[in-house]
Amino acid sequence: MPAKIPACVGMTMVGRFPVSFQVLQRLQPENPKTPALRPHESQTMNDWDDLHCFTVLVEKQTLTAAADALGVQHSTVSRRIARLEETLGLRLFDRIGRRYLLTAEGERIRAQAQEIAVGMGSLLRAAREQREEMAEVVVSAPPLVAKGLLMPHFAAFARRHANIRLVLQSDAHISNLHARQADIALRLVRPAQNDLVARRLRPVRYRFYARERYLQTRARAEYAFLRLTAVGAHAQWQAEQLAGRRVILACNDFDLIKAAVAAETGIGLLPDFHVRSEDGFVRADLDGTGEQAEFAADMYLVMHEDLRRSPKIRAVADFLAEVLADKPAG
């Protein structure tokens, strides 16, 4: 009686999922001096986390940042990278201070590793959706956008799409859509990558606000200003507007700027959507010209092109485009 051939022949396990040995072989560059990865050797590469750590460390460049992104100890990242290098027989990184920079060998396998990472992300997502009754869509947005623009509409979304659970990542950190850290991202900068699809939603307008009493009880020369410490086009514009003016407070949070304006500490830059009529703020005329300085930056809904045909992703994207669209005033 012929022996049964195990179903896993030619396969190795990446996490709980089988991946063909041929796929793992592709990680090794075509270099006659580099020994080929043989099937029995591939058994040491039985953990998807090793490859995932590699792709995250390439992006973050330090063990601490990679560990934070992965939710593990930095020693775990170091151990997995060392195991991956030993398995492949390649030195993947140069250690320069705390930074991990790709070697030439690491650079050659980078694209293939990311391709496998994307495939595994899709596989894990598909498996998760099959296990769950509700589909899950991860939306990444800056904290202020999440609180001020998204939260008021989530109840309406739940009523319209009872079978979709939204997972909101409200973090100043920009989620990596290529690594599938999020399905949809709201960004204030249009992405340059060709495989990301961007839909323009609305402009976000920034102006200088103050309490009316603050402006009425001080001469223009006595105005004090609150500066947002941030990066981006609006921060550069703010720096130009505040050049030569007295800045008495700097912070990295719009909520703190708003609280300081409410306390009549000074004049601060705020996005229009973060100011309500009940706040009692007025737009400040900085130079007495009768005009309020304004900066506008477009907000984009961004997703990976591989996801735009997914019904659940499309449902969320269409809803966000509807409620965040630029509507005429009045």
- Cα separation, 314 vs 300, whole angstroms: 15
Q: Average of pLDDT values for 234-240?
A: 86
pLDDT at res. 42:
42
Sign of CA dihedral 171, 233, 63, 181: positive
| Token representation of residue 36 | 């080929």
Hey, what amino acid is at 278?
E
Evaluate if residue 71 carries a pLDDT over 90. no
Q: What is the pLDDT of residues 290-319, one digit of tens each?
A: 777 889 989 999 998 888 888 899 999 999
Evaluate if residue 22 carries a pLDDT over 70. no
With beta carbons less than 8 A apart as the criterion, state whether 113 and 55 touch.
yes
pLDDT at res. 130:
65
Evaluate if residue 197 carries a pLDDT over 60. yes
With beta carbons less than 8 A apart as the criterion, state whether 141 and 170 touch.
yes
Q: Average of pLDDT values for 208-227?
A: 93
Q: Average of pLDDT values for 148-176?
A: 85
- Cα separation, 127 vs 62, whole angstroms: 31
| Token representation of residue 170 | 């409200």
DSSP for 237-268, please give it.
Answer: HHHHHHTTS-EEEEES-HHHHHHHHHTTS-EE
Q: What is the pLDDT of residues 126-139, one digit of tens each?
A: 776 666 567 889 99
Evaluate if residue 151 carries a pLDDT over 80. yes
With beta carbons less than 8 A apart as the criterion, state whether 154 and 197 touch.
no
DSSP-derived pairing of the beta strands 196-211 and 247-251: unpaired
CATH 1.20.950.20 fits 11-116, yes or no: no
Which among 48, 58, 288, 301 has a CA at the least distance from the CA of 183? 301
Q: Average of pLDDT values for 250-268?
A: 93
Collapsing DSSP states into helix, strand and coil, what is residue 37?
coil
Residue with tokens 């650079």: 107
| Token representation of residue 235 | 């921060």
Is the full-model pTM beyond 0.85?
no
Evaluate if residue 329 carries a pLDDT over 90. no
pLDDT at res. 13:
42
Share of the chain above pLDDT 90, in %: 32
Numbered ranges of CATH 1.10.10.10 in the chain: 11-116
Chain Cα centroid distance, residue 58: 16
Q: Average of pLDDT values for 267-275?
A: 92
Superfamily of domain 130-203+298-323: Periplasmic binding protein-like II (3.40.190.10)
CATH class name, domain 204-296: alpha beta
Q: Output 18 or 151, whichever has higher pLDDT.
A: 151
Numbered ranges of CATH 3.40.190.10 in the chain: 130-203+298-323, 204-296
pLDDT at res. 129:
65
pLDDT at res. 190:
85
At residue 227 the predicted structure's pLDDT band, cuts being 50, 70 and 90, is very high
At residue 321 the predicted structure's pLDDT band, cuts being 50, 70 and 90, is very high
